Chain A
Amino acid sequence: MSTELDSRSFLRWCWRQLTSMRIALILLLLLAIAAIPGSLFPQRSQNPVQVRQYFIDNPQVAIWLDRFSMFDVFSSPWFSAIYLLLFISLIGCVLPRSIEHLKAIGAKPPLTPKYLDRMESYTEFKKVDLHIVERYLRKKHFRIRRDENSISAEKGYARESGNLLFHLSLVLILIAVGIGSLLGSRGDAIVNIGDRFINTPTSYDILGFGKYQSEDSLPPFSITIKDFKAKYDPVSNAALDYELTVSTANPVGSTETTRVIKVNQPLTYGSTKIYLQANGYAPIVVVKDKTGKVVFDGPTTFLPQDANLSSIGAIKVPDMQPQIGFVASFLPTADRDPIRGGFSSYPEVLDPRLLVAVWKGDLGLNRGIPQSVYRIDTSKMERIGLKALVLNESYDFGEGSITFTGWTSWVNLQIVKDPGKGFALIGAILAILGLLISLFTRQRRIWVKQGRKTQIAGLAKNGIPGLEDEIKELVKEMSNER
């Protein structure tokens, strides 16, 4: 035998193995097992901060986990390998079956087997007219092959149709997920109340693109934040409702319309949606230098730390000589207790405090290393003051002064473009439809043969129950006919 034939038959063997049900079953179970680490370790795609924390807490372990993609399980080579093999196996199994099924729909049921008495649920019966049997079976919507002395009847083709529809819909869902990740984009932008967001890459705080998506493909809308209302339960302090009012124009400069965005109610532009994902406070301060010149005036975004929106942030004033930074926390409703010190007791602004620690020195902004806007690198700085400010209070820290003049709210808009999700929804609906059809349709064959006696036998696909009763009923019906 030539080696070429050998390798070809080997490939054929592989293909047959891959499309066999046994391998598909193993792949299914492997897929379930492979998904488990994705729920046990923090994932970069959901929570990069927690992953970074994991690296800090367990550096040795984390490096090894990372080598096996444990922080990116669902985009890892091994997870992808399993589901791709599974889908290849699925297509290899379903496509030939679809072709076969299409042929079967056009064709008559198979010939009546020679020896019916070897089949399951076999009954003998006194001679009846086959016409009557045929009429009865047709009335019950069986497909019928009528030969001279026998009838071969089959029912329940929809089972296989549903089955194939279900599996092909899964392929559609996979394609939809692919479209979404290749042609979509996803980004976050923090916008203060009163400010305008224009949908260009530079307006975003974070922005990610699919592989085949270019930067200029963002739809050219603008969103002006008009108002943001947060309602809280006065007893439990839990949030009850968030309502964001915006005026929006598409494209920028056209007539603006007023719209409301809520947590479960995003704003939609085609396949792009704008979500309200988070909110917080931005205290407004005025900083003056020794000469009384204003060197900083405006809001700074602070990050909420707890349910009562105690927030921390950093106000950086690089234009002063020496540079000044304020490490600050903002308490919307200030309270004190001996253990925790100052804290916030309610998420709304009722009695605000701004706690500032003043640092002098080099903010390190020119070192070229990207810095968090919420933190100050104080390694080259010296602390020169500490103060809790009430509204409109000023504090003179020697190099200048800071005044706490007010606050505004900010919202985090998440802007997501996913052109694949419509297909995913269609795929999901078809999958359920196919599943229902295939699980609740029984496919079975009934043969009736005329000899000295009338023989009846049946075969239920996958041993689904109910056939016996059906044959009994047929027999009963025939006895009544006589």
Chain B
Amino acid sequence: MSVFSYLLIRTTLGNPARPGRVRVTRAKSLRGSHNTLSKALMPATYTVSVLSLAFLVFPIYWMLLIAFRPGTLNFVFPPLIYPKVFNPATFIATLRQSEPYVITTLAVSIVVMGFTIIVAAPAAFSVARQNKRWLLLMCIYLYGLPSTSYVFGVYTIIYHIHLLNTWAGLMLTFPLFTVPFAVWTLTNFYSTLPKHYEEASLIDGYTPLKSFYRVVMPLARPGLFATALLSFIFSWHLLLFPLVLSETPYQYNFPPTGSFTVTNFATLFDPQSLGSTVTANVWGQVGSAGIILAIPVMLIAILAQDYLLRGLYPGGSRE
């Protein structure tokens, strides 16, 4: 994958082709343009798109369906794929059960979100304006690196500083996923900001640091907001680190110990590993846990769609 990481870095950092040049080449090739490919494209697109939409939406629909129906309706043949009886009992019970996991994940994700912005925002500015490309390369490399390749090292460190199974252990390690990503997207965001204001502030005798906090940060608010939300989503989703670093659910104590997250919670209901102990309710619990995991992110994604679309695009478009 190193080759592909290198290619990814090349594509995202490479200068986009000048539009003028592309347009001329295209104009030349237009003469023979009415080929079969362009004729077939739109019908194929519409057919495949409608089928793909069904493929993409069905599991979400299925999740809602099995969460809110009595367990007995799950085990009929052929499977019922339309709603018949609405019964929120399993969902409410699962929601109650998830409380300590949700508290941990919320606390950890909010701290991670703040930490990520505080650390990554100035660093990305430094990449965009002071030309620290090596830092961006390091971030893209770490972002693409499989987390399993360093998880043992992370475990060793957290073990030696006695933070296994604590919130602090997760708060220290989750930014490993969010900081590189945030530096990357914010670098792209800063490079779209006009330079005039900060240049004026530098001429007025501001230091780069002061100019960053007083001039750039306020201008960059939409990008920072999007990156913060995405950092929250990322840490909400993580499984490997809590799997390795946590042992129990939150024990309602202070300083907080017990750091199972919502993803650990969902794995409690894996119908495959439950095997013979599987109950009629387990599908309902799977669906309910899925909803609990997905709801915050779904709300963020739908309410802040425009912000996210801007923040989600790592590299490329400068328009």
Partners in one complex: no
